[in-house]
A and B are shown apart, each in its own frame.
Chain A
Amino acid sequence: MFREIKRALKMHRIFIVQELKRFTEYKGDFLTGAVGLLLAQLCNIIFISVIFGQIPELMGWKYNEVMFIYGFSLIPKALDHLFFDNLWSVGYFIVRKGDFDKYLTRPINPLFHVMAEKFQVDAFGEMVIGIILLSCSLPSIEVEWGVGKVLLVIVAIIFASFIYTGIKIGTAAIAFWTKRSGNITFMFYMVNDFVKYPIDIYNNVVRSVLTYIIPFAFTSYFPALYFLTGENPLFNIGMTIVVALIVMTIGVLIWNRGIKAYESAGS
């Protein structure tokens, strides 16, 4: 077990180094993607600012708090995007074109191989905006910070990013049956737009979906709530960890069944 983790980390490092070598050839490309993502977030921030230009509070939430939640939601998303972006390609073309063959003929776990192979620097666009939003909104929010709380932020962010990864694994795996599932992943991803805002602005149905069915609320709202209010760490942080583990497990289970149904391509 320990040896395997060590080996996986080593392989991951090697893949990342390879990707970085690739980027030295395509610097302009990296900027295009990162700037695109940055602008996309910036547009939404303008949208929020226009709203708060007219009203002081959105259902009890102040501008800074909304910004904090928005910023918090971007960081786990960016982390997953940075390390495991290749899962998108599984659903869009790796399976359909039969390119998944390659991963099955190599002596490392195919899921790990395909996930770790890409290092998507575009994600820095989201990451930068997320960090800027957090650091700009923090000073005006009254919370006490300590080493423990900082550690909890890191833990919460890591597990929150696993929720994204798990959902991507599970939805990408659907391609093993249907050949294409990129748009299913996309659909799930659009759900995460909901959790950029405090989820109590939604009605009960939407809120339950975001909490129990497609639990994106645990990638931003709940952990952010703990840092905003200091209340209920057991639920807000603890459940984030539990939910992340559940989503990841379900994703991997679907994946493992999917691999058996893989039909490759061509004659």
Chain B
Amino acid sequence: MSDLRRKLKIYTPFINAGMQEMSSYRANWLFYILGDVLACFVSFFVWEAVFISNGGESFMGFDKSDMVVYIFMSFLTGQVISSGGTYNIGEEVKDGSIAMRMIKPISYNATFLFQEIGNKLMEIGVIFIPLVAGVEIYRFAVTGVLKFDILKFLFYLVCCVFAYAINFFFNICYGFTAFVFKNLWGSNMLKNTVVSFLSGAIIPLAFLPDVLKNVLICLPFSSLTYTPVMIYMGMYTGYELLFFAGVQIFWAIVFWLLSKVIWKCVINRLSIQGG
């Protein structure tokens, strides 16, 4: 236990560094978030048009307020669980500094993780609370009932942590593809596109044909956005909740192990071929 505390102490400066980083590029980051929020509004208006066009009925089980909650919460969840590992590792692979990771006395993944947590604390303060509050006020204004459920919200937060773990390790694994794809921008965008589609960030998976939907739900990506958001919205109950949390934990462990295996291979490759 004291060992753990000592370890954590080594890494706390990285949380601070992450927060400082955010504050020095604050304007830049705000513009970026604003850009992404705009994309949410595009979906918002398109769905509004859909509900106007079909006379206000529900669309495949979602009514308009569900859809609005889904759009903004899936965006927010995407932000909370995002991880920049792919790009950072890719850069290191490209310029050869990946070899330096072998000689660092502290775990590089951990320093990166803590720096990112610092980033996220800042981010959550700035966008998370206002957006959740906005979504809840909207829901209250439209339906007239307060649907916010603290238990479900807590469960949602826990699922976000699992989702972040999956994403973190998945991104590390994917980062090593830079050995093959030198175009980092392209390969990163390729990944983000595929992941955001498979995770339900573009269309709720419930709208897809059943076969496709069932396949996607078992893949790791639905655990990233779709599962937490559905939990937030109260679409899952009882055993369903536990089942999907189980799926998340399963994938988190898989990617954690996979990242270890890949790292071992990389070390072997580096020590045979040199940087």
Binding site for B on A (CB under 8 A): 26, 28-30, 32-37, 39-40, 43-44, 46-47, 50-51, 54-55, 57-59, 122, 178, 180-184, 186-191, 193-194, 196-197, 201-203, 206
Contacts and interface: CB of A to CB of B under 8 A. Distances in A.
A188 B193 CA distance: 20
Interface in B1-60: 25, 27-29, 31-32, 34-36, 38-39, 41-42, 45-46, 48-50, 52-54, 59-60
Interface of B is mostly: helix
6 contacts: A34-B186, A35-B190, A43-B193, A180-B28, A194-B38, A206-B41
B183 interface: yes
B34 A44 contact: no
B42 A193 contact: yes
Contact of A190 (B38, B45, B50, B196): B38
Given A55-B50, A193-B38, A201-B46, A36 B32 contact: no
Contacts of A44: 202
The winner among B29, B45, B49, B187 for most chain A CB atoms within 10 A is B49
Given A32-B183, A55-B50, A186-B31, 6 more contacts: A29-B181, A33-B190, A187-B35, A189-B35, A190-B38, A193-B42
Contact of A43 (B60, B185, B197): B197
Contacts of B38: 187, 190-191, 193-194
Shortest beta-carbon contacts, A-B, top 8 = A33-B186, A29-B183, A36-B190, A32-B186, A190-B35, A187-B35, A201-B49, A183-B31
Contacts of B28: 178, 180-184
A58 B49 contact: yes
A32 B190 contact: yes
A47 B42 CA distance: 13
Contacts of B49: 58-59, 197, 201
Contacts of A37: 189
B106 interface: no
A167 to B, nearest CB: 13
Nearest to A91: B28
B208 interface: yes
Contact of A33 (B52, B180, B185): B185
A187 B186 contact: no
Contacts of B101: none
B189 A29 contact: no
A32 B46 CA distance: 30
Interface of A is mostly: helix
B147 interface: no
B202 A197 contact: no
A34 B38 CA distance: 24
B193 A40 contact: yes
Given A40-B189, A50-B208, A194-B42, A29 B182 contact: yes
A181 B27 CA distance: 9
Nearest to A59: B49
Contacts of B59: 54
Contacts of B186: 29-30, 32-36, 122
A185 B126 CA distance: 21
A33 B183 contact: yes
A36 B27 contact: no
A81 B173 CA distance: 30
B182 A184 contact: no
The winner among A182, A183, A189 for most chain B CB atoms within 10 A is A183
Nearest to B196: A43
Nearest to A26: B182
Contacts of A197: 42, 45-46, 49
A178 B32 CA distance: 15
B39 A193 contact: yes
A187 B190 contact: no
A183 B38 CA distance: 13
B203 interface: yes
Contact of A50 (B36, B181, B189, B203): B203
A186 B36 CA distance: 9
A187 B31 contact: yes
A178 B49 CA distance: 39
B193 A39 contact: yes
A187 B36 CA distance: 7
B140 interface: no
